[in-house]
Amino acid sequence: MDNEEFRKHAHQLVDWMADYFEEVEDYPVKPDVHPGDILEQLAETAPEQGEAFDALFEDFKKIILPGMTHWQSPNFMGYFPANNSYPSVLAEMLTATLGAQCMSWLTSPAATELEERAMTWMRKLIALPDSFTGVIQSTASTSTLCALLMARERATGFAINNKGFTGDENLTVYCSSETHSSIEKDIKIAGIGRDNLRLIAVDEHYALKAGALETALRNDLQAGYQPAAVVATLGTTGSTAMDPLKEIGDICSKYDVSLHVDAAYAGTALLLPEMRWMSEGMVHADSFVFNPHKWMFTNFDCSAFFVQDENLLVRTFEIMPEYLKTPEDQRVKNYRDWGIPLGRRFRALKLWFVLRSFGREGLQQKVRHHISLAQDLKKRISNHRDFKILAPVPLNTICFRFQPPHISDEQKLNELNKQLLDQIQESGKLFLTHTKLDGKYTIRMVIGSTNVQERHVEKAWGLLQQAAMKLING
Ligand code: PLP
């Protein structure tokens, strides 16, 4: 492909992209494919000779697109969103074109300095204490791994980094039983071991019980363990429960244990002054993560990771081989030392485009709109005789189940709700997911797609009621 062809195809793709955004809500949100269907259509070996772009694009439309789940559809209300927006997509086009690898200041000074500025903007927009410094990581899983590695090194005086485990460390980490699975994965990777992750009980709202945390810490200390970190969640994955940060922070200060706050999804709500009750006590946190790539209109991947002690972070990860030394090292930030990989994508550009294009007010307006749509629907679900809300709805995630009054058997209710969700998924008209709360099969509905409107919520609620009635009436 030469430059002229590139220009022609790029224009063609931009037209396709704009059409896609216009039409995405008409696509089946979940594809009607079975495992292996796509694989079967793909050549077993790479071509010997290069192919024309038209052939690639035709196959994209014919093979790939029908096998995609449409995360940007306003009918996508499952998991947590990974929403995007026009300015973010445009920035990704530029990022791909520049193709810069932003590991050091020298390898792209503007990328480093833009990241520093965008993260300072972000810190101010979500009203984190000034003492925090931010860096962009790929995912919340990676950000939390960084936090746990920092905590591990802090607790052992950098002994693990230097000598490795001797077997006498007895490090422990604490989080609630509702904490995201990435914490367990990170604990395994950090060498702390799953057996040393203490899952603390939750209250009736699925938030960590601070009293139980303190008891666990005390018991472990008495038994000779070394508590290294607590992970508090603002907005658990199951039901967006809020762990009591202030109480947890006080306990962490009292026992001198690192505190990491995982607000991967809910952190976006801190754009709203009325939601800042969630972050009361943040001064006690050593680190904090939230993902603009979930609910803040920024393409996956973009995870905003903030730390109180920049030196601890850099000391945990720093390496300095001869081939990476640059004349400016003493005067600049080299973000390769602020996380796990050496190579780094230019992620700050899309965040900067999003922040400038929406502005604080534009972001607040969208987030408020999503929350208000969810709060309205929550009221309607709670007023319906046959449905029941199963957890508080502090934001825009509604946990509920179909519970007709004549069915009280828990197993039957679980089966019924699983069938209901299966029917919804199969329809291709709406995408929802589930969790279990207190053993109850729970349907989750998250209203956070960039362009979701009242009519989409209306349609979703209509579909749910219809499918539920069909299930019991046959
Ligand atoms: N933490 C919480 C609370 C989450 O809900 C999720 C994902 O949904 C994660 C962490 C992991 O996010 P990521 O995919 O960015 O690693």
User: pLDDT (tens digit, 9 = 90+) per residue, 435-469?
Assistant: 999 999 999 999 999 999 999 999 999 999 999 99
Q: How far is the CA of 184 from the centre of ligand 1 (A)?
A: 12
Q: What is the rounded CA–CA span in Å between residue 420 and residue 412? A: 12
Q: What is the pLDDT of residue 104?
A: 95
% residues pLDDT > 70 (the chain):
100
Q: How far apart are the first and last CA of the chain?
A: 57
- For 185-237, what is each residue's pLDDT tens digit? 999 999 999 999 999 999 999 999 999 999 999 999 999 999 999 999 999 99
∠ at Cα 353 (351, 356), nearest 5°? 105
Q: How far is the CA of 414 from the centre of ligand 1 (A)?
A: 26
The mean pLDDT value of the chain amounts to 97
- For 266-316, what is each residue's pLDDT tens digit? 999 999 999 999 999 999 999 999 999 999 999 999 999 999 999 999 999
Q: What is the pLDDT of residue 66?
A: 96
Cα Rg for the chain, rounded, in angstroms?
24
Pocket of ligand 1 (CB under 6 A): 80, 139-141, 180, 182, 233, 237, 262, 264-265, 291, 303
Give the helix, strand, coil percentages of the chain, each rounded to 5.
Answer: 50, 15, 35
Q: What is the rounded CA–CA span in Å between residue 430 and residue 363? A: 25
263: Cα separation from own chain's centroid? 8
CATH 3.40.50.460 is the classification of domain 1-30+69-83+360-474: no
Pocket test for ligand 1, best of 261, 291, 303, 444 (most atoms within 8 A of CB): 291
∠ at Cα 165 (160, 170), nearest 5°? 100
pLDDT of 41 higher than 90: yes
Nearest to 85, CA basis, from 21, 30, 29, 25: 21
pLDDT of 388 higher than 90: yes
Q: Does the pTM exceed 0.85?
A: yes
Nearest to 271, CA basis, from 377, 180, 351, 355: 355
Nearest to 88, CA basis, from 241, 292, 319: 292
Question: What does DSSP say about strands 387-389 and 397-402: parallel, antiparallel, or unpaired?
Answer: antiparallel
pLDDT of 473 higher than 90: no
Taking each helix axis from N to C terminus, what angle separates 348-383 and 454-473, rounded to the nearest 10 degrees? Answer: 50
Q: How far is the CA of 466 from the centre of ligand 1 (A)?
A: 32
CATH architecture assigned to 100-345 = 3-Layer(aba) Sandwich (3.40)
Which tokens sit at 440?
A: 């109850």
Average confidence (pLDDT) over 66-74: 98
Ligand 1 nearest atom to the CA of residue 179, by list position = 3
Break the chain into its structural domains and give their ranges.
1-30+69-83+360-474, 36-65, 100-345
- For 403-429, what is each residue's pLDDT tens digit? 999 999 999 999 999 999 999 999 999
Q: What is the pLDDT of residue 168?
A: 87
% residues pLDDT > 90 (the chain):
96
- Distances from the Cα of 121 to the Cαs of 135, 282, 324, 394, in angstroms? 12, 18, 29, 25
pLDDT of 474 higher than 80: no
Question: What does DSSP say about strands 258-262 and 287-290: parallel, antiparallel, or unpaired?
Answer: parallel
